[in-house]
Structure 1
Amino acid sequence: MTFSHFAKLSPIYCALIGAALGHGYLRAEELPNLPATQAFSAIEVMQVSGSRSHLLSSQLVDNSMSSIEITDSATVNPTVADWLINAPSISLNGQGGLFQSYSIRGFSRSRIRTEVDGIPIITDRRAGNSASFINSELLARIDIQQGPSATLYGSEAMGGVINLISAELGTKKLTASAQSDDQATNAALLWGSETWQSGFAYRHANQASAADNTPLDSDFEQCSALLKFSQSWQGLTVNGSTIVSQGKDIGKSSSQFPNDRVVQYPTDEHWLSQLSLQREQDWFVQLYQHYQNWDTDTLLVGNRRNLTQYQSHTLGALGLATLDAVGGQGRLGVEWLARRGVKIAESEFSLGGQQNFAQPLVDGKQDNIALFSDWHWQWQNWQLDLGGRFDHINQTQFISKQSRDDQQFSASFRIGYQLNTQHILSAEMATGFRFPTLSELYFAGETPRGTTLGNPELAPEQSRGAQLNWQYQINSAWSIDVAGYYYGLDDYIERFTSQNDQGESFRSYRNLGRADIQGIEASVRWQGDSGMSMQWLGHYQQGEDKQGDTLADLTPAKLSWHTQWQWRGIEFSNQLTWLKNQSEVGSGEVTRAHRFLWQASLSKSLTSKLTLHFYGKNLTDELAFASADEDASLLQGRTVGVKLDYQFD
């Protein structure tokens, strides 16, 4: 049964059935009022510290967490990656378009766990698990959890966790925007109360162009919606939500467009929902699901056309309970994460429209059962956190009648010490793992990049990570945050290119053996008394395998300067970013020159309810590639836009 048969998703239907807040290990409503540093073109970045819900969050992981505020932002960004690159250790990777992927500290694709309100987003795109099927106007913020201890979330969290948090209960607003170049338009209506929230959003874009007028295959049309509720009674809280999205004619921007390869996603449909029950700070139970259905249409210019059809259904359950023992606070958790009906089929056609063949590529399922626990102790100025997780996985490919079982254990340790009111030092160490995906194991067919063959002999990746962090509050205006990290990786899974006996190129996967990644990131913040704030960010890393070859997807050295100024009802934001040239690159990458990017925005409150925003992106009209990927497209050229926000009573 296809998604279209399951739910007829016209824009009107989207508006009626809506979508939204799920609950994972951390629930959005549990966030306290946290200290924030304003900057980033009306993006608010919060360094998360202090107490949260002991039941729904982990002290072990939250110490390396930050958030990007999206609510009321003046800038319109089409992809999740466009928001995330404002963080120092995150960069673009892969190709471009709406499904632009990203890396965290050199980890990318299925090494990053992506969630929407706690619901895991698992796809079989080689580029990674994009969540750009949700319009950003329906989001409140994005939580970023990085550092070695993120492995408490299990496989696919080796590099960190990205959790998109939907609009808060009671939000009532109307937004509309338009911009130059690709004539992108975006409109959203959100309406709710203290116990429920709904929203509908529609956006559309034509093909964009680079600074030299090179066409970019980045057009799309998409509608998405949300509906959620929350009710409490005698210490019990029930939360439910559903999210739907329908996209069509989504371009896959790459350097091969339009002369060699043209890739489109004719349909991209998603449905997420969850239901949870919580008793105060004692226990929490949640059920969730994510159904998705999308097609990929690949035209090899002058040769043939391949159509790939994809479906999968993610099901899951999460249970949490608190414990107080041995002088500390603890949690016990169990998670079941399953994938059913993972089907990938391919059809090939001649340029005249004659079908050459049609064949199933993957027909599989997956079950992952995990037990985990984390504990927190506080003695005067000392803080100690411990965590552990055991996972068992079964992966089955019905076509070839192959099945495999595996189990892994990960452990985390963190210690922190507050020297005085100004200095905090912390150190953490953790082990982690990543199971190969069903596609890496069993896929054999055509992708937007070319012929790809899975490798059923792949071993799970292993990691050992360490991090040192120093936080220094110089005074009420100035603060510094510095983190250095190291990861030792075993059986690192690399995609490589080879040739068959007929001399035809194909891509496959292999375990590299030993690899190392190390780096440092820093931020300096200043909050003035005259409505002005500034932030300087920097990041540098390197990574090699045991032969001394550079790993792919590393973040280029980056320096950013963010300024925000408020004066007489006007708010001005400015962001300058410099990315160092990449002269040493990994498999599937090419060298890139340095990049200098500039974006800015100006906001003015016309009335108490209506705000007008102007924004500009790539104002230097820089001619540069989005990433070092060999198929990466050029960045979109200079773009200016206007946005209106209306807040209802």
Structure 2
Amino acid sequence: MFHFQIFVPFSSLQIIGMAVLLSLACPLSANPAKGSSSEEERKSVTDKANGKATENAQAIENIAVTARRPYYHETLTKIFPLYQYVQQNLTEPTTVNDVLVQSPVVSLNGQGGQIQNISIRGFSRWRIQTLINGVPIISDRRAGSSTGFLPPRFISNISVIPGAASTYLGSGAMGGAVNISLSEPNGHQFQAGLLNNAATQEIAYSGHNINTDWKLSYRHASNAEDANNNVLYDQFEQTALFVRHQFEKTPITEAWSLYSQNSNVGKSSSDFPEDRVTTYPQNTHWLGKVSANLGAITSNVWWHQSQLDTDTLRPEQRLNESRSRAFDYGGDMGSKVRLANWNINWQAQIQGRNGVRIDERELAFNSQAAPNQYNYSEETYSVGPLDASEFALAGVFDASRTVGAFSLAVGARFDWQRQSTTDQNAGDRSIANSNMSGFAGGSYSITPHWRASIYVSSAFRNPSLTERFYSGETPRGTVIGDAELNTEKSLNVQGVVSYANKTVTASAEAFHQSIKQYIERIATNDNLLQYVNLNRAQIDGISYSAKWAPDTSLLSLKLSGALLQGEDSTGSPISDIPPNNHRLDIVYDLGRVRAFSSLLYRASKISAADGERSLRSTLSLDVGVSWEVNENVTAKVSANNLTNQLFYVSADDRAAFARGRNLNFYLSVLL
């Protein structure tokens, strides 16, 4: 049954109420304010040799992009390339992760299912930041935040910032960040999709009226199967709604809100079904943002309310129930000025977390229960292992300039944070952290086609509320937090060489990141896990990307890949370092008909860290064909894992196998 659960704290209601009242006080405008597309985005709809993609076709593909880039985008692109990824030449994505893994430095991490996580250059969990239209998604799960609650139909493109990004985004961006941009429809559009493996069904509708646009999506999936026809526990049901309004002639420029309710979400794990069955009965998110332009100053207020329920069943032993909830909020204000040929940005930021609470109880197996009675009814214990809050203030500035063929950029962040907890046994406790991070980079245009750059940045990560204050039961066992954990500090160095002409664009990156006080969760004895600071860890690697797309050719090719290694101060491998990977994307565009394929190679992984397994190499193939039937109708047929390969989704020692061959059918109608 579809229902809403509201649990907003009073202080949070004040923040939201102010934003809503400001929005209601502003008159509606007559025309939406639209931005211009970037050069890379325009290339996706440029004329081909055998025809031209129409504007309606762009809308049908749902990849329309409005150029609302974060303020730091202009500065960073002066010193190294930033990449954006769209869905146009992909088989039908089941999650946002399917779009993200087009990046050579992004890999799947942890166990499978709808809320699976990613890593960027070997950084994962709380070390990478995920944003939706600039709103950070924060999770109290050790696995980190997941965007599985966001329907892929809602997105237009995803920007990836590899490397330390703490200067702009704070503690959670030590290893990089991704920003998901939500699309803006050009008309009323109906979309339907069907996947045969897991019997996934999807219906979506988007539309607009003057300055207001909206999206609705309903998705339902049964359990899929791997290549050996074994059942994978990755079922889910999802309902999502997004509404946005753009203003004119008022200080408020835009307000939007997204609600997503996910139920009966299965965690795809190798423990299923004999040893452990983990289900997320409810995974609910409500987030939004209000943006304003006060003369030369821009400002944003955002919020994110979340609730995650977890049931971990150990058959004929016990059932552990966990209820996690939090309300995150924040705001910023900033401006840009020009001083002595320098472009300067400054921003003041505020961010907080209220009502971060986890409640747990355990039910014992009752072997004497009657056949029609619930077998797990005897409560063993009921506790609240986490009741905490967080508040942070930060000031950020950057400066950049270009002199001839040389571009230079520098930036710094000053950050203060307070974390507090209420413990029934130990009483109240607060811990304050002050940190500073910065970056400096430069790029030089060697020739009109060649460019070289270097980027040095520092980063920090304060321990999460879970790492500091949580002690309780998880699907992996009993976990003990440590309030005395030290803040992680890191130094990132990367060099980039890039080339571009009318036919070829290519880049190669080499990077090194060293981390002090690296926080890891280790096993102290059977079924007992504790967070500790390691002395040091480092990650090194290279990545590359090359695209061949002549204007006179119907064929385009893209080759990309990454090679990484990571170890601690003893030389032992650290967790979450993905195997080396390479990817070949091929597109053949006939105008109304476009064929595409992706050949994915993942190398073997021999040196596994604690909690991981070794992996053998694998080669998989995705293929698809898109047909623009007319200006209003587009159909797509595609297949994932066409050769039905059997491989684990990640090196996690409890990861399940990937889905076997999956046929996808998609239809879009512009009404």
Q: Normalization by structure 1: what TM-score?
A: 0.91
Determine the C-alpha separation between the residues in 1 that align with 2:354 and 2:627: 49
Once residues 145 and 165 of structure 1 are traced to their aligned partners in structure 2, the CA distance between those partners, rounded to angstroms, is 14
CA offset at residue 29 of structure 1? Answer: 6.3
Superposed displacement of residue 233, structure 1? 1.2
The DSSP-based 3-state class of the residue aligned with 2:468 is: helix
Residues 1:182 and 1:459: Cα distance change in structure 2 (over 3 Å):
same
| Residues 314, 338 of structure 1: 8 Å contact kept | yes
Q: Is the 8 A contact 1:592 1:628 kept in 2?
A: yes
Indicate whether 1:162 and 2:182 are aligned. Answer: no
Range moving further from structure 2, 632-641 or 396-405: 396-405
**Alpha-carbon distance in 2 for matches of 1:33, 1:568:** 22
Q: Percentage identity across aligned positions?
A: 28
| d(CA) in 2 for partners of 1:54, 1:271 | 22
Aligned position for 1:34: 39
Q: Which runs of 5+ in 1 are unaligned?
A: 8-18, 23-27
State whether residues 181 and 639 of structure 1, in contact with CA within 8 Å, keep that contact through their aligned partners in structure 2: yes
Q: Does 1:385 align with 2:409?
A: yes
Report Cα offsets for 1:326-364 as digits up to 9, x if no partner. Answer: 320101111111000001010100123111111101000
RMSD: 2.4
Other-structure match for 2:435: 408
Which consecutive unaligned segments of at least 5 residues does structure 2 have?
9-19, 24-32, 46-57, 367-376
> Is the Cα contact below 8 Å between 1:32 and 1:52 reproduced in 2?
no
CA distance in 1 between counterparts of 2:445 and 2:240 reads 45
CA distance in 2, matches of 1:186, 1:213: 23
Aligned partners of 1:29, 1:453: CA distance in 2, in Å? 50
Q: What does residue 610 of structure 2 align with?
A: 587
Task: Indicate whether 1:297 and 2:298 are aligned.
Answer: no
1:619–1:639 Cα contact (<8 Å) kept: yes
Question: Relative to structure 1, is the Cα distance of residues 99 and 197 closer, same or farther in structure 2, using a 3 angstrom cutoff?
Answer: same
Alignment of 1:476-625 (within 5 A): 476-499=502-525, 504-528=526-550, 529-567=552-590, 569-625=592-648
Q: How does 1:323-338 map to 2 (within 5 A)?
A: 323-338=337-352
What is the match of residue 25 of structure 1?
none
Give the AA of the match of 1:92: L
Question: Which has the higher mean CA deviation after the structures are superposed, 562-571 or 196-205?
Answer: 562-571
Are 2:490 and 2:514, in contact at CA under 8 Å, matched by a contact in 1?
Answer: yes
Q: What's the offset of the Cα at 1:302? A: 2.2
Give how far 1:646 is off: 0.9
Partner of 2:163: 147
Cα distance in structure 1, aligned partners of 2:167 and 2:232? 37
Q: Equivalent residue for 2:15?
A: none
Query: Aligned-pair distance for 1:322?
Result: 1.3
Aligned residue number for residue 118 of structure 2: 102
Aligned 8 A contact 1:149 1:413 in 2: no
CA deviation after TM superposition for structure 1 residue 195, in Å? 1.7
Q: Give secondary structure in 2 for the equivalent of 1:593.
A: coil
On the 8 A contact 2:188/2:206 being kept in 1, the answer is yes
Aligned to 2:293: 278
Once residues 30 and 488 of structure 1 are traced to their aligned partners in structure 2, the CA distance between those partners, rounded to angstroms, is 39
- One-letter amino acid of the structure 2 residue matched with residue 304 of structure 1: R
**Which residue of structure 2 aligns with residue 12 of structure 1?**
none
Aligned with 2:330 (options 309, 313, 316): 316
Give SS of 1:208's match.
coil
Residue 670 of structure 2 is aligned to residue 647 of structure 1: yes
Which whole-Å CA distance do the structure 2 matches of 1:569 and 1:31 have between them?
A: 25
Query: In 2 relative to 1, CA 54–554 (structure 1 residues): closer, same or farther, beyond 3 Å?
Result: closer
One-letter code aligned to 2:135: I
The reply to whether residue 450 of structure 1 matches residue 477 of structure 2 is yes
What's the CA shift string for 1:92-121, capped at 9, x where partnerless?
110000011110000001111111111111
- Partner residue, 1:69: 86
CA contact (8 A) 1:538 1:558 kept: yes
Does the CA-based 8 Å contact 1:151-1:160 persist in structure 2? Answer: no
**Cα contact 1:303–1:350 (8 A) shared by 2:** yes
Residues 414-446 of structure 1: CA deviation (Å, up to 9, x unaligned): 101111211111101000000110011111111
Are the aligned partners of 2:89 and 2:587 in contact in 1 as well (CA < 8 Å)? no
Distance (whole Å) between structure 2 residues aligned to residue 594 and residue 508 of structure 1: 32
CA distance in 2, matches of 1:456, 1:61: 39
CA distance change for structure 1 residues 116 and 53 in 2, over 3 Å: closer, same or farther?
closer
> SS where residue 646 of structure 2 aligns?
coil
User: After the TM superposition, which segments of 4 or more aligned residues of structure 1 sit over 3 Å from their partners?
Assistant: 28-32, 36-39, 51-58, 61-64, 148-151
Q: Structure 1 pair 255/184, CA: closer, same or farther in 2 (3 Å)?
A: same
Corresponding residue for 2:16?
A: none
Deviations 1:8-29 (A, max 9, x none): xxxxxxxxxxx9xx9xxxxx96
Does the C-alpha gap of structure 1 residues 514 and 535 become closer, same or farther in structure 2, counting only changes over 3 Å? same
Give runs of aligned pairs for residues 46-85 of structure 1, distance below 5 A: 55=71, 57-60=73-76, 63-70=80-87, 75-85=91-101
For residues 191-237 of structure 1, the C-alpha deviation after alignment (integer angstroms, 9 at most, x for no partner) is 01452210100001001111111211100001001000111217x45
1:124 aligns with 2:125: no
* Equivalent position of 1:114 in the other structure: 130
2:617 and 2:279 map into 1 onto residues whose CA distance is 30
User: Which residue number in structure 1 is paired with residue 494 of structure 2?
Assistant: 467
CA separation of 1:78 and 1:100: change in aligned 2, threshold 3 A: same
| Superposition deviation, residue 74 in structure 1 | 5.8
Distance, in Å, in 2 between the alignment partners of 1:294 and 1:228 is 25
The DSSP-based 3-state class of the residue aligned with 2:143 is: coil
Q: How does 1:346-357 map to 2 (within 5 A)?
A: 346-352=360-366, 353-357=377-381
d(CA) in 2 for partners of 1:158, 1:325? 30
* CA–CA separation in structure 2 for the residues paired with 1:53 and 1:492: 32
Residue 131 of structure 1 deviates from its aligned partner by 1.4
Q: Deviations over 1:582-634 (max 9, x none)?
A: 00122211111111111011111222111110010011111100000111111
Per-residue displacement from partner, 1:254-293 (whole Å, max 9, x unpaired)? Answer: 110001000101111111122110146x211111111111
Task: Give how far 1:170 is off.
Answer: 3.8
What amino acid is aligned across from residue 383 of structure 2 in structure 1?
A: Q
Shift of 1:300: 1.0
| Count of aligned residue pairs for this structure pair | 615
Separation in 2 of the partners of 1:523 and 1:542? 19
When structure 1 is superposed on structure 2, of 81-90 and 556-565 the one drifting more is 81-90
Q: Deviations over 1:343-392 (max 9, x none)?
A: 10101001231111111010000001111101111111110100000111
Measure the CA separation in 2 of the matches of 1:573 and 1:221.
29
Alpha-carbon distance in 1 for matches of 2:445, 2:303: 42
Offset of residue 498 of structure 1: 2.1
Determine if contact 1:55/1:320 at 8 Å carries over to the other structure: no
1:54/1:74 Cα in 2 relative to 1: closer, same or farther (>3 Å)? closer
Distance in 1 between the 2:70 and 2:272 partners?
Answer: 50
Counterpart CA distance in 2 for 1:54 and 1:239 is 15
Contact 2:342 2:399 in 1 (8 A): yes
Distance 1:137 1:554 in 2: 30
SS at 2:650's partner residue? Answer: coil
Residues 602 and 615 in structure 1, CA contact (< 8 A), matched pair in contact too: yes
Change (3 A) 1:60 1:547: same
- Cα separation, partners in 2 of 1:345 and 1:568, compared to 1, 3 Å: closer
* Secondary structure at the counterpart of residue 124 of structure 1: coil
Residue 91 of structure 1, CA deviation: 0.8
Distance 2:176 2:440 in 1: 16
SS at match of 1:298: strand
Q: Which residue of 1 aligns with 2:50?
A: none
CA positional deviation for 1:55: 4.9
Instruction: Please give the alpha-carbon distance, in whole angstroms, between the structure 1 residues aligned to 2:71 and 2:620.
Output: 42
1:367 and 2:367 are equivalent in the alignment? no
The structural deviation recorded for 1:243 is 0.6
Counterpart Cα distance in 1 of 2:612 and 2:69: 43
In 1, Cα distance between the equivalents of 2:193 and 2:180?
Answer: 22
